Amino acid sequence: MSMRNVLIATAAAVLALGAAYAAETPNLGQPIAEADVAAWDIAALPSGVGLPVGSGNAVEGAKVYAAKCAACHGDEGKGGPIVRAPLFGGPPLTEGIDVRKTIGNFWGHATTLFDFTRRAMPFNQPRTLTADEIYATTAYLLYLNKIIGENDVIDAKTLPQVKMPNRDNFIIRFPDKI
């Protein structure tokens, strides 16, 4: 069977299932108000959707970092006992297919840094930081990567505007699948 036929067959099967169910699907989901999803609704998207109220800069971030991040990541992001790789730097990507990816040499969006810190850091105490603390450490790590200045204020408006050095270097592998 050709791929096209497989696709058609699969689509037909799914449609058939869909049709069988469409008449009467179980509808066992419990309605919930969007506001009641808020505690889990933590994804910060590149456009800024999902960023909370709050702000911070690298000077404030350095203090939060020393208190809540350095134990694992080392002083000033230089690498520590748990995560040996520094949180900045990294060789240019042209040096090899296996170079270390960093915020500075690889990450395409600053919102990814906010989002990951917000959901996953500190690794052993996730989701304990305030919005200001997340903005501040984000600013600090962007500053360590020489992407913003020490006093630049990072908030819901400025974060999506930060231009990451590697932003335009990506190729969507399967655009037809989107």
**Identity of the residue numbered 96:** G
Q: 114 with 135: CB under 8 angstroms? A: yes
Residues 38-57, interacting with other proteins (CB under 8 A): 40-43, 45-47, 49
Partner from ligand HEC, other proteins, none contacting 71, C-beta within 5 to 8 A by type: ligand HEC
Phi first, then psi, for residue 56 (nearest 5°) are -175, 160
* Token pair for 155: 């908030």
Decide if residue 89 touches other proteins (CB under 8 A).
Answer: no
CA 106/CA 167 separation, integer angstroms: 8
- By the 8 A CB rule, do 99 and 89 touch? no
**Cβ at position 75, least distance to other proteins in Å:** 18
**Which residues bind to other proteins, rule: CB under 8 A?**
1-3, 6, 10-11, 14, 17-18, 20-22, 25-34, 37, 40-43, 45-47, 49, 72, 82-83, 92-94, 96-99, 101, 106-109, 111-112, 115-116, 119-120, 123-124, 126-127, 166, 169-174, 177-178
